Amino acid sequence: MTRYKMTMAYDGHLFHGFQKQPNQRTVQGTIEEALEKMTKGKRVVVHGSGRTDAGVHAKGQVIHFDYPDKAGKVIPAQNMMLAINSQMPTDIVFFESEIVDQNFHVQYSTKGKWYRYIVDQHHFTDPFNRFYTGHFPYPVNVELMREASKDLLGYHDFSSFAASGGQIVDKRRTIYYVNIDQDPDRKEIIIDFIGSGFLYNMVRIMVAALLEIGNGKRPVHDLKRVIEAKNRQEVRGTAPASGLYLYHVFYEEIPEKYRLDHKIY
């Protein structure tokens, strides 16, 4: 058996999320089917760094799997990637591949995750970006959003930002970095979050709350109060899945430039 770690991008809009489910088209299911073909019927389990929901995209999802060696021969990492890519539908592509030892686990070895959210600010949805952005046509003051985002940094109980349905009891996480950019030509707002981990729907709920602040619907430092409240009812909105990208998974230490949380304590 050889363990492969691979990095991939996918367009989530025609998948029912990452995780395999019966009778649904999923990312994990699609890859496992391809591997089963390649091994001529041997089952190969694909592990992901984490799930992504239906409609959510990835620019840097990471998986690992153990592939049976054939007569003691190991397939080189690049050849394995080409072989898998040629089996993939056009909404999945692998772009990095390496052989790792059995101690590496794509979920448990993570040091952090980077999510990106792209907001489309056109009055009417941009036809070419409707599957790849979340539409919010109302005016926003990005400076207010930037100020508000500082309240998310650091180690907090994020219960107010976790959709019900998750099975995780400990809702404490660290957010290391939030950055908010505006692209006036494309009428987009790009919000990056780097953290130790994220709860179910957490990024989409944070985006909804930040947009409400930018739109003047909440006071600029309301997120302090919302975090304290530990109550999901404090933020009702959830930004659409279409704008969300799993952008990068850190197996290296989070670089110092992304440790804004250090600067506030």
> Interacting stretch for a second copy, rule CB under 8 A, among 68-76, 90-98, 166-174, 179-187?
90-98
Residue 138 in contact with residue 79, Cβ under 8 Å?
Answer: no
Please tell me whether residue 132 binds a second copy under the rule CB under 8 A. yes
Q: Least distance to a second copy from the beta carbon of 166, Å? A: 27
Closer Cβ to a second copy, 34 or 220, answer by number: 34
Please tell me whether residue 9 binds a second copy under the rule CB under 8 A. yes
Interactions with a second copy, residue window 100-119 (CB under 8 A): none
* b/e 198-209 (16+ beta carbons within 10 angstroms → b): bbbbbbbbbbbb
Residue 63 in contact with residue 52, Cβ under 8 Å?
Answer: no
**Annotation-wise, does 132 bind a ligand?**
no
Length of the chain: 265
**Short-list 261, 254, 263, CA closest to 176:** 261
Whether residue 53 lies in the annotated active site: yes
Closer Cβ to a second copy, 57 or 113, answer by number: 57
Closer Cβ to a second copy, 24 or 78, answer by number: 78
Round to whole Å and give the CA distance between 19 and 26: 6
Q: Least distance to a second copy from the beta carbon of 118, Å? A: 11
Choice among 11, 53, 66, 91 that is catalytic: 53
CB proximity list for 117: less than 8 A, separation 6 or greater: 134, 190, 191, 192, 193, 203, 204, 207, 239, 243, 244, 245
State whether residue 170 is helix, strand or coil: coil
Q: Least distance to a second copy from the beta carbon of 245, Å? A: 10
Please tell me whether residue 265 binds a second copy under the rule CB under 8 A. no
Could you say which of 4, 6, 10, 192 contacts a second copy (CB under 8 A)?
10
Q: Which two tokens stand for residue 70?
A: 């054939």
Closer Cβ to a second copy, 123 or 263, answer by number: 123
Could you say which of 32, 53, 66, 91 contacts a second copy (CB under 8 A)?
91
Could you say which of 40, 124, 167, 256 contacts a second copy (CB under 8 A)?
124
Closer Cβ to a second copy, 59 or 259, answer by number: 59
Q: Least distance to a second copy from the beta carbon of 93, Å? A: 5
Round to whole Å and give the CA distance between 113 and 254: 9
- At residue 73, what are phi and psi to the nearest 5 degrees? -95, 135
- Binding site feature residues for substrate: 115
- The catalytic residues are 53
